[in-house]
Amino acid sequence: MSNPYPPNLKPQPGPQELFLSSTADICIYGGAAGGGKSWSLLLEPIRYTENPDFSAVIFRRTSPQVRNPGGLWDESQKLYATLGAIQKTSTLSWEFPSRAVVRFAHLEHEKNRLDWQGAQIPLIGFDELTHFTESQFFYLLSRNRSLCGVKPYLRATTNPDNDSWVARLIDWWINSESGYAIPERSGVVRWFVRLQDKLIWADTKEELIDTHPSTQPKSLTFINASLTDNAILMKQDPGYAANLEALPLLERERLKYGNWRIRPQAGLYFKRQYFSVVQAALTNVRRICYWDLAATEKNDTNDLDAHSREPTCRRLSL
């Protein structure tokens, strides 16, 4: 595919270029922080801004997230203004010389999805997709339609969250044991239909049409992002990797390494080696017994007393 951008604007080689050249109806660009995902979302509409009937809407969950320093609105000013677009702060939108429009919006509340009832949006973008609900995503997909000659499509970026509906949606692209993206599947397109409120998947559109003739399959792909993909950030802010390394284990795995399976669990924060064992009970102390009513079931890996088999009763000096 030829480069649709001005000479000074082009994606970085690798996943960012793959994301911006994908032909899938839905493309989700997710993984580590700092991979250039949000910038890619801003680049995406530029290919069609010479079409006077084209419009795009890029969503964040809340309005402050759109306006935050370094957020979508802030970064768009560095990009769209250089292309002659005029900003309209009151509507958080840019109008290009052709009259094409790129707008930023939020879906803070579940009911906000209905604000877009009747809308016709050729390109829909979601920044940080795991922040949105599944019903918001699929309802907005129903607004993804076009009469401007551009085939309607949806693009999204996200960081990992094992507890989100997005983790289930992209399950095929993720290693179930390690939690990391499967390299050879990144960018591979699959097809799905919804039947009886369940997504049915296949490797080809034809396979789904053969088995479910009355359906109209949609294509989806997932592209993995890592910090090392973003050579520009690594050069301009070489200390950013150290910031991610300084995070606690859970967030470090998600934001530095793109782990989609890690989650809070017993034994993840408090490990036996963190504590020293005394040889005898202290004297002249108050004795207190306590019960953790939210505790997980005791086993050999999650309880300090698992090996001694003593009652879970602590003596504290107050």
- pLDDT value for 216: 95
Specify the pLDDT at position 275. 61
Candidates 222, 218, 238; CA nearest to 230 is 238
Q: Which of 119, 120, 121, 100 is nearest to 47 (CA)?
A: 100
Which regions in the chain score pLDDT beneath 70? Answer: 1-8, 265-276, 281-282, 290-318
Note the pLDDT tens digit of each residue in 233-286.
888 888 988 999 999 999 999 999 999 999 876 555 555 555 667 777 667 777
| Closest residue by Cα to residue 226 from 26, 36, 46 | 36
Residue 75 to residue 70: CA distance in whole angstroms: 6
- Torsion sign across C-alpha atoms 225, 229, 234, 235: negative
Domains along the chain?
A: 15-235 (3.40.50.300), 267-318 (no CATH)
CA distances from 262 to 136, 142, 168, 267 (A): 25, 32, 14, 13
Residue showing tokens 């993995």: 224
Q: What DSSP letter does each residue of 8-38 carry, written as one string?
A: T--PPTTHHHHHHH---SEEEEEESTTSSHH
pTM of the predicted structure, to 2 decimals: 0.80
Find the distance separating the first CA and the last CA of the chain, reported in whole Å. 71
The pLDDT value recorded for residue 114 is: 96
